[in-house]
Structure 1
Amino acid sequence: MNWPERIFSSGKIPILTGFAALAVSLWTAFSHPGSWEDDAYIFFRYAQNFGDGGGLAFNPGEPSFGITSVLWTLLLGGFVRISGLEAVVAAKILCAVLFSSGVWILTRLVLSRTRNGFLALWTGLLTAACPPLVFSAVSGMEIALNMFLLTTLLASFFLSPQKKFWAGGILVGLLFLTRPENLILLPVWLFLTLSETENRAQKSLGFALGFAVVVLPWFFYFYSRSGLILPPTRTGKLLLFLPMQFGLSLEEFQRAGLVERLGIAVRSIAVLFKVKNFLIFVPFLFLTGYYILRNRIAFTRFWLAGAAYCLGLVSLFGFFFPLIKLRYFIHTYPFFIFASVLGCYHLWGDVRIRWPLFARLLWIKSGIFVLLLGIPILGILTARKFAASSQQQGIRREIGLWLKENTPADARVALEPIGAVGYYSGRHIVDLGGLVQPEVWPYLKEGSGSRTDSLLVFLERKGVDYLIDFSPHPWAAKVVDAFPEKFDRAARIQSPYPPAGADSYDIFKLRR
């Protein structure tokens, strides 16, 4: 056995890649304070209130359900309560642990399928150092949890000798509580269950029971408290961003025909194929395709199910929620990495047979590159990208700290986005985006257009003390321009690192 084979034949490779992922993710997460996603701060505030014993509430004492990931909120809130850490710090640690656990599972899966330590190591390091994946996983959102559960579900299909389908039902239920669109996995996994040759009825029942045990308690609790089936965040975002991005109201979008919906879907999905994202996907898609073509029969059901899940996600967002971001799909990267590594394994076998000398040189040099050069470079790039994007939240953090120092503790502040400002200020937030407070929806429909008086009525009815918006005023603060006698500018907060499209925020005090 030569030295590369001795190095890459160890069964401890999954543990090594797991620790590598933990180191990279922790370094990336703590390379800059806070998070680059404003929505992450919504989770932080919910988790902080939950950890402090206030239940599910964005504003203390005011129960609300403006969260897309109840499982992530409860998990983070529980960790905050146990550890006593601030939510933003707890989220970084928890995200890193979940991400590294997912890398460990994926590496173990590849090692079991190929019996090739080098490919397993390559898989783990590629996943641990994939810039967009690490960048998203440590953002404080539910992405790391989503990836971990999806990778666990993937492993359960290949590694469970007894195919315990009740466990699959539990995992799909947990994935649904992590992101509502994961409900697509329900018919996908049922397809895998029903395609079994033995005990199909028993396995289907086990899957259904596992799913029901996880989902039904939360569903009944959520419906009894809110009267809704799904969180209000989707409607709020559509009301706010459809006019900005597509020039459509929510009613116009809902009335749109199939052809018009298809056009909107194509325009929204095109976001995923920006150059930087597309270049990441190209090698994955090529090697995935090679593996599937090379093994047309093996695991056909699994690849059909995986393709159905990915296409279902894209279609669901494109047709029903065309406000697409890469973070809604980034958790599927391990699926492509797993398939592409298996494709590389078979491609390597074909090359080794035809060009053995070239294959041997490629094997050794690529291993040295990945271990000694590739990972440090990618890790540095990931940390820099995270730091640069995190600066965009700096101005909102400054607003929150200004409010904390210069306003009464019981002050009511109206704005959108609400995350970072709400978390750092600790003030009562009136959500003008309708994510956590559906009562703003009727006013939002009118006030985001020409009916600025409608928005003013809402602000006065809610007892708002301060109104915050971009300068110049593109949306909410149009009411300031329409009714200048009602407002005084209390402050203008500027940042050396302004977010795209905004140089400053204005803070207005409402006159009584």
Structure 2
Amino acid sequence: MNRNIIFGILLLFSICLLFAIVTDHRWEDWYITYRASKNLALGNGLVYNIGEYTMTYTSPIGTLFPAFIKYIFLNQSDDFTIWIYRIVCSIVLSSTSIILFKIIQKLQYPTFFYFITLFFFAFSFLIVDNSINGMESAFMVFFEILLIYLLISFPLTETWRYAICFSGIMFTRPDGFIYASILILGFVIFNVNNSTRFTRQNLFHIFKAIGFAFLLFSPWLIITDNYYGTPIPHTIIAKSKVYSFDYLIDTFINYCRNFNGSPNLFLPAYAVNFGGWGLFKPIAQILSFITLFYWLIPGTNKIARALSIASLLMVLYLNIVSGQGPSPWYLPSVITPSLIILTLIANDIYEAFFTNERFKIMKYASIASLIGICIFMFSNFYLGMRMIKYQQKIVELGNRKQIGLWLKANSKPKDRVFMECLGYIGFYSNLKTYDFPGMSSPEVVKTRKTLKTEKYSAVINYLKPEWLVLRAGEATEIKKEIPELMQKEYKLAKTFDVRNQISMAKLKYGEPFLQVDALFEVYQKVNP
């Protein structure tokens, strides 16, 4: 194997492993999925609550792989399972270096650009974090890069190559065909090469590949339909909106009116939503504008323009249709083409200025810009890693896990608990959960639809669970809306507060994200 490829594999794997060792990060959703995975491994069925056939997960790969690991190592701890899964995902992500090298070779770029691309991927916070924190993102990144390579290297007549890649994306995430279709659309729009021209024959082969992909994916749809009564994950049902033409148009107009780029692509989790990242945000904003709108510049690299418009369409899909715009585990799907765009832009600049002595100033300016981007990504990665290390230690293990364990010790087996943050609390309490918006609970979804409400207070008042786990702000809001509910029917049982520990960590960047889940109040129903 080429030594450059070996270097790439070792670099990506080492960075992932280092990140996992330093942070031990497990994303909240890992424990939502893993509760079902563990039940399957133990022989209780692929369910969240034993005996309740509700699909509380989205990714088939992200659910079945941990179940298989747990089944093989049945006597090992849950921590052992996630470490094996982390290693698997790290191997998957590091193997993308093989495809990236092939892309650079196919484009006949200097090897330097391969190392630049490796650097971008190795120090993309959200890609690395979501490859080791229990999410399925490593598989998504792998299949996206593979599809980009296929589009550059093979005609659309190679139906089975595309079909297998398509189905891999769908097994990673059921809506993966949307991302795959958007990438193909970008290549067709800009007529990247003869094999992706918009012709009747190519259109036929595209739909043929999609058809074969759905055929490969269909066994999963049939199995889940028979098992759960629907092939649609309940997580999607719980989060779904009532889509209408007017709704989509209004959402599109409002989003465009307030559009400020997509800096979340180049920042740690929820950095834009909760703030605390100072100068990093405007730099990330500039990078997002460059990658999302590079397609508007005529005469530039067609592949870069194709990936650019694809990235923009993915951002629009996440923010307008699916509603998952800022969700960190969805963003690697957009980050992947965006990072490749940066490499292609660097090559455009190289060809325009570096081979022409008349543009010495632009040459040095472009070198400085590239170095600046690398410094930004490395600094952002390091500070994000430090933030997530304390988030895991103080908030996840020190607060939400402890809430779950306390509930388990102080509740009855048939008690029900209401909360928004389902993962740690639901897993460690092992209780019947009424989460909002109802990813594990058809009762909550039904209640929301029956009462036509999105208010916690109305749902709680209707379902009356034995326990409530609320952030302080949520409790205050419920007391305002239905005062008698919290005065007469529930009593404060315990407060979990880690605000002082967060302050003592002295995080210059990212502290607001930790403070969101620093204070919880647990309420118990009076005379349940």
TM-score range, shorter chain: 0.7 to 0.9
Structure 1 counterpart of 2:41, which letter?
G
1:494 aligns with: 497
Q: How far is the alpha carbon of 1:384 from its aligned partner?
A: 0.9
Q: 2:521 aligns with which of 487, 505, 509?
A: 505
Tell me by how many angstroms 1:144 deviates.
2.1
What aligned pairs does 1:26-425 form with structure 2 within 5 A after superposition?
26-35=17-26, 37-84=27-74, 86=78, 87-160=81-154, 164-185=158-179, 187-188=181-182, 195=197, 200=202, 203-204=205-206, 206-228=208-230, 230-237=232-239, 257=247, 260-266=250-256, 270=260, 272-273=262-263, 274=272, 276=280, 279-280=283-284, 282-283=286-287, 286=290, 303-304=305-306, 306-307=307-308, 309-325=310-326, 327=328, 328-355=330-357, 380-390=382-392, 391-393=394-396, 394-425=398-429
Give 1:358 shift: 6.1
Q: Deviations over 1:191-250 (max 9, x none)?
A: 658747797588457514431222222223333444445323244346xxxxxxxxxxx6
Where 1:511 maps in the other structure, the secondary structure is coil
Sort the Cα spacing of 1:174 and 1:116 in 2 relative to 1 into closer, same or farther, 3 A. Answer: same
Distance 1:123 1:218, change over 3 A: same
How far does the alpha carbon of each residue in 1:91-118 deviate from its partner, in whole angstroms, 9 at most, with x for none? 4333322322234422442244234221
Q: Deviations for 1:434-482, whole angstroms, at most 9, x for unmatched residues?
A: 11222322323539567957633423xxxx4322222350466776842
Give SS of 1:429's match. Answer: strand
Tell me the distance in 2 between the aligned counterparts of 1:297 and 1:369.
22
Residues 283, 475 of structure 1: CA spacing in aligned structure 2 closer, same or farther, 3 A cutoff? closer
Which residue number in structure 2 is paired with residue 458 of structure 1? 463
Q: Closer, same or farther in 2 for the Cα pair 1:376/1:397, shift >3 Å?
A: same
* CA distance in 2: counterparts of 1:383 and 1:47, whole angstroms: 28
- Provide the rounded CA distance (Å) in 2 between the counterparts of 1:289 and 1:452: 43
Distance 1:414 1:206, change over 3 A: same
Q: Identity of paired residues, percent?
A: 18
Asked whether the equivalents of residues 38 and 419 of structure 1 are also in contact (C-alpha less than 8 Å), the reply is yes
Alignment partner, residue 4 of structure 1: none
Contact 2:300/2:348 (<8 A) preserved: no
Task: Say if 2:294 and 2:308, in contact at 8 Å, map to a contact too.
Answer: no
- Structure 1 counterpart of 2:466, which letter? D
Q: CA deviation at 1:491?
A: 2.0
> What is the identity, as a one-letter code, of the residue corresponding to 1:470?
R
Q: 2-side partners of 1:407 and 1:21: how far apart?
A: 44
Check 1:106–1:200 CA distance in 2 against 1; reply closer, same or farther (3 A cut): same
TM-score (norm 2): 0.76
Deviations 1:149-181 (A, max 9, x none): 111211222345896322212222332343344
Identify the range of structure 1 (46-55 vs 16-25) with the bigger mean alpha-carbon deviation: 46-55
Whether the 8 Å contact between 2:48 and 2:54 is mirrored in structure 1 is: yes
Tell me what 2:14 maps to: 23
Deviations 1:287-344 (A, max 9, x none): 8977995855855xx954x455434333333333445215223322221222321221
Quote the residue 1:433 is aligned against: 437
Change over 3 Å in CA distance of 1:71–1:388 after alignment to 2: same
TM-aligned CA deviation for residue 500 of structure 1:
1.8
The residue that corresponds to 2:3 in the other structure is: 12
1:501 is displaced (CA, Å) by 6.9
Distance 2:300 2:377 in 1: 33
Deviations 1:361-394 (A, max 9, x none): 979x98x979x98887565334213214434434
Q: How far off is 1:399 after superposition?
A: 0.4
Residue 214 of structure 2 aligns to a residue in which SS? helix
- 1:232 is matched by which residue type in structure 2? H
Contact kept in structure 2, 1:43 and 1:141, CA below 8 Å = no
Conserved? CA contact 1:264–1:318, under 8 Å: no
8 Å contact kept, 1:447–1:454: no
Structure 2 SS opposite 1:468: strand
* Higher mean C-alpha deviation, range 105-114 or range 290-299: 290-299
Query: Which stretches in structure 1 are left out of the alignment for 5+ residues?
Result: 1-9, 239-249
Cα 1:218/1:309, change in 2 over 3 Å: farther
Return the alpha-carbon distance in structure 1 between the equivalents of residues 459 and 375 of structure 2.
59
Give the total of aligned pairs. Answer: 483
- Whole-Å separation in 1 of the counterparts to 2:73 and 2:296: 46
1:246 is aligned to none
Whichever residue aligns with residue 342 of structure 2, its letter is S
SS in 2 for 1:65: coil
**SS of alignment partner, residue 262 of structure 2:** helix
Counterpart residue identity of residue 406, structure 1? N
CA distance in 2, matches of 1:329, 1:27: 22
With normalisation by structure 1, the TM-score equals 0.78
Question: Is residue 179–residue 333 contact of structure 2 (8 Å, CA) maintained in 1?
Answer: no
Aligned residue in 1 for 2:485: 482
Check whether the contact 2:55–2:234 (CA below 8 A) recurs between aligned residues.
yes
Question: Please, what is the CA RMSD of the aligned residues?
Answer: 4.2
What residue is the counterpart of 1:3 in the other structure?
Answer: none
How has the CA–CA distance of structure 1 residues 483 and 362 changed in structure 2, closer, same or farther, with 3 Å as cutoff? Answer: closer
C-alpha contact 1:467 1:508 (8 A) present in aligned 2: yes
- More contact order relative to length (CA 8 Å, sep ≥ 6): 1
Name the CA shift for 1:504/1:354 in 2 (closer, same or farther; >3 Å): same
Question: Contact (CA 8 Å) 1:444, 1:455: kept in 2 or not?
Answer: no
Amino acid at match of 1:211: A
